[in-house]
């Protein structure tokens, strides 16, 4: 199989498997006071210190979660509830129009069920939020904004956001700023302290760690209302037995990713440029989406006029090439990508896109295989679409 969907998930690295395997051999709940529990707690805190070092934050700023989605929910819901408790006027949740659904959907849920006001900050045609656009949204009434959430890097088109500048705007008005950095960690110099953000979401399985573990980094003094209640773990912000082996694997994956980041990013950028060139050689009218320079090195998001993304995906899959579509599918009905629509694309273009994403293990052979397949696949998809429209 040619795997070009590393932005969805990537292989667990051998070093991570080895560390988790060793940890699975130990018994002990890190909340227990006996020797086995203390040993597990030591492993948890060593993982926390390692993760903090890799992310440019203090260990006591790291709150462990079961993944990026839970961390986003804790940030959006928890910060809203905490801010609304301080002042009932604080009802607006500002999110970028291109956020991952892990941030969008909690914000919409809060509007539907908790009296919040959901508001999207517009992006330009490349998918970037301008600091001026955020300022304009805030200044409509600064006192009623509960929080701002803008992702570090877009998961579909790969566009990078000016996080430090956006966080600075929010800070001027005393508003918490959250950023989902799930896609950025591993190829971008993500430093929580330097970003100026109030909260940051990270996840293990995008960087060679295990599925099922992540973290929300919270600046000192930022205390969201808990979403989960129970044993009071993680400063009572996220109750639940800590997953010691997964946390150790998370720390290992992040440490390796941080050490290799610069070289890995250069390698991915070269492969991405080769991939785009190979596709355009066989499909000259393919359109590359996202910012031309401020973009993740491992994502190439392309639209194929006259095609449907879902059809292209399945045709490539039949040839042993795995990628993802730029559209979501709900109850069997194809929907246009909200990211491309926010960038100004029409619905047809938004349904004609594919995301190819690279990672550890990707190489020239993958690009060659895609280049060989993409021309016939696009032609077949276009022919099928013409036939359906003529029927």
Catalytic residues: 329
- Asked if residue 375 lies in contact with residue 23, where contact means CB atoms within 8 angstroms, the answer is no
Q: How remote is the C-alpha of 191 from its chain's centroid?
A: 16
Torsion of the alpha carbons at 324, 164, 247 and 29, rounded to the nearest 10: -130
d(CA 315, CA 322): 10
How many CB atoms are closer than 10 A to CB 257?
A: 22
d(CA 226, CA 183): 25
- Asked if residue 149 lies in contact with residue 76, where contact means CB atoms within 8 angstroms, the answer is yes
d(CA 42, CA 67): 21
How many CB atoms are closer than 10 A to CB 335?
A: 14
Assigned token pair, 99: 């956020």
Q: Are strands 324-325 and 353-357 parallel, antiparallel or unpaired?
A: antiparallel
Would you list the DSSP string of 173-221?
Answer: TT--EEEE-TTTBTTB---HHHHT-SEEEEESTTTTS-TT-EEEEE-TT
d(CA 216, CA 202): 7
């Amino acid at each position: 199989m040619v795997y070009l969907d590393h932005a969805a998930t990537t292989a667990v690295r051998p070093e991570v498997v080895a560390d988790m395997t060793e940890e699975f051999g130990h018994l002990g709940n890190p909340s227990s006071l006996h020797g086995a529990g203390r040993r597990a707690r030591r492993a948890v805190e060593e993982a926390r210190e390692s993760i903090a070092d890799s992310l440019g934050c203090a260990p006591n700023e790291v709150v462990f979660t079961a993944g990026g989605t839970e961390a986003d929910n804790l940030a959006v819901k928890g910060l809203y509830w905490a801010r609304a408790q301080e002042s009932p006027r604080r009802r607006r949740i500002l999110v970028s129009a291109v956020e991952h659904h892990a941030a969008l959907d909690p914000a919409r849920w809060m509007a539907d069920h908790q009296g919040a006001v959901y508001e999207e900050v517009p992006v330009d045609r490349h998918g970037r939020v301008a600091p001026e656009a955020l300022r304009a949204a805030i200044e409509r009434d600064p006192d009623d904004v509960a929080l701002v959430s803008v992702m570090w890097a877009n998961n579909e088109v790969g566009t990078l956001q000016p996080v430090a500048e956006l966080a600075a705007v929010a800070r001027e008005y005393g508003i918490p700023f959250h950023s989902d950095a799930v896609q950025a960690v591993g190829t971008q110099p993500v430093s929580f302290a330097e970003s100026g953000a109030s909260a940051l979401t990270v996840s293990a399985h995008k960087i060679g760690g295990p599925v099922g573990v992540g973290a929300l980094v919270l600046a000192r003094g930022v205390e969201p209302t808990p979403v989960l209640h129970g044993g009071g773990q993680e400063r009572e912000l996220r109750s639940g037995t800590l997953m010691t082996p997964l946390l150790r694997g998370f720390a290992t994956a992040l440490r390796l990713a941080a050490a290799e980041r610069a070289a890995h990013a250069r390698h991915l950028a070269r492969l991405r440029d080769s991939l785009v060139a190979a596709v355009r050689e066989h499909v000259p009218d393919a359109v590359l989406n996202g910012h031309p320079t401020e973009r993740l090195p491992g994502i190439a998001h392309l639209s194929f006029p006259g095609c449907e993304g879902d059809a292209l995906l399945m045709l490539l899959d039949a040839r042993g090439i795995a990628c993802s579509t730029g559209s979501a599918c709900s109850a069997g009905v194809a929907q246009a990508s909200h990211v491309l629509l926010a960038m100004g694309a029409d619905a047809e273009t938004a349904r004609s896109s594919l995301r190819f994403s690279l990672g550890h293990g990707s190489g020239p052979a993958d690009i060659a295989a895609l280049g060989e397949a993409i021309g016939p696949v696009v032609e077949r998809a276009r022919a099928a679409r013409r036939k359906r429209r003529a029927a």
